[in-house]
Amino acid sequence: MAAGRFAPSPSGELHLGNLRTALLAWLFARSTERRFLLRVEDLDRVRAGAEAAQLTELTALGLSWDGEVSRQSERLHHYDDAVTHLRNDGRLFECFCTRRDIAEAASAPHVLPGHYPGTCRNLSESEREAARSVRPAALRLRACVDSYEVRDLLHGTYAGAVDDFVVVRNDGVPAYNLAVVVDDAEQGIDQVVRGEDLLSSAPRQAYLGSLLELPPVEYAHVPLALNPEGRRLAKRDGSVTLEALTAEGWDVLQIRALILRSLGLPDFSLETALEAFDPEQLPREAWVVDPSNLSSTDDAAATPNR
């Protein structure tokens, strides 16, 4: 059965923007009669107690999911199988570059900003042997395209650049772009709802999925929550988490109502919001939140920009 998902990293509490994306992922999945899965992406930063806190926050918001919570740290063999597939197809090469190496080489006129310049793509075996004695290698995908096109429910057709991106880090840990593609396919997830800051990564992931002969997914990259300066909302902005807001007198249902109103949805219950949910009617601009002016009786400081 088809599924959607929410996949937080257990690095801290979920703020209003995270909770809004989780709620949207739930609405997209339930409105299309998909299963809704929860996956903890714990291959990178993990803060003790963060996963339990996040699950408590999602439950308090009224969200439910199907089946057990999955964790990337328990799925390493799936990534190993994908790496073997790519290696057997000649799709991988060792890369010994540091971030500084890449930043300096990427300043060349022919290299797109932020993209890998191809430094290690065609090293000889003797050159690779010499480099291995200096530092361990990451594994990069040998991309055969410069761009790839995806279809997004909110952004339409989107073509993004594809470079030789990392699929296994030099510490042996699978990179995000590999893990998320393998996870979604193996778990039957065909609908990916996440923040629009990840839209530019969708072409890389869709291209990798095609090389692994995996079914395509349906994307919906939703607007972010921003602070008044136009930066992505973060815990450092103040009272933007459930814990902080409840400490200031908010009820969890008030917080959920605030999020639903920011989406132009009725705030009485999740059921009424689900009945009214229409992706075509969602705000397309960011939700600007001013934590310094939020109060449990006046939420006018948090409004969607339409």
Which of 11, 14, 8, 38 shows the shortest CA–CA distance to 242?
14
Letter for the amino acid at 212? L
> Does the annotation flag 116 for ligand binding?
yes
Which of 210, 216, 215 shows the shortest CA–CA distance to 85?
210
> Does the annotation flag 268 for ligand binding?
no
Contacts of residue 240, Cβ cutoff 8 Å, sequence gap at least 6: 15, 16, 17, 233, 234, 289, 291
C-alpha to C-alpha distances, 288 to 27, 107, 191, 228, 270, nearest whole angstrom? 21, 34, 26, 6, 22
Contacts of residue 103, Cβ cutoff 8 Å, sequence gap at least 6: none
Q: What is the DSSP letter of 290?
A: -
Query: How many Cα atoms sit within 13 Å of 61 on the Cβ side?
Result: 30
Supply 223's token pair: 């607007």
> Does the annotation flag 5 for ligand binding?
yes
> Does the annotation flag 144 for ligand binding?
no
> Does the annotation flag 104 for ligand binding?
no
Measured CA to CA, the distance from residue 231 to residue 46 in angstroms comes to: 23
Torsions phi, psi of 49, nearest 5? 85, -10
C-alpha to C-alpha distances, 286 to 136, 201, 219, 221, 303, nearest whole angstrom? 41, 19, 18, 12, 9
Sign of the C-alpha dihedral, residues 90, 145, 97, 119?
Answer: positive
> Does the annotation flag 11 for ligand binding?
no
> Does the annotation flag 9 for ligand binding?
yes
Contact predicate 34/191, CB 8 Å: yes
Determine how many CB atoms are found less than 10 A away from the CB of residue 194.
21
Contact predicate 69/36, CB 8 Å: no
Per the annotation, where are the binding residues for Zn(2+)?
A: 95, 97, 116, 120
Per the annotation, where are the binding residues for ATP?
A: 235
Per the annotation, where are the binding residues?
A: 5-9, 41, 95, 97, 116, 120, 176, 194, 235
Per the annotation, where are the binding residues for L-glutamate?
A: 5-9, 41, 176, 194
